[in-house]
Amino acid sequence: MQDLDSHELPAGDDPERGDVPGWVLVTLMTAGLVVALWAIAGPLLEGAFTDAISSVTGR
């Protein structure tokens, strides 16, 4: 009788393991883009929100 775990790959050859440094780079770049977009769009969104609230409240 064959052991059921004998067909599994060794831990170092796991195709689902992924490239950790690549994922770190993608995460950092995404965070950088969010910060950059927030810095540009933040004041514009704040102004739009203030204008919308002012038009509703009449102030």
Q: Which two tokens stand for residue 42?
A: 């933040």
- What per-residue confidence (pLDDT) applies to 22? 83
Per-residue pLDDT tens over the stretch 6-21 = 566 555 666 666 667 8
Q: If you average pLDDT over residues 30-44, what whole number do you get?
A: 96
Give the position of tokens 């770190």. Answer: 24
CA distance 35 to 13: 36
C-alpha neighbours within 13 Å on the C-beta side of residue 29: 6
Tell me how far apart the alpha carbons of residues 23 and 17 are, in angstroms, rounded to a whole number.
11
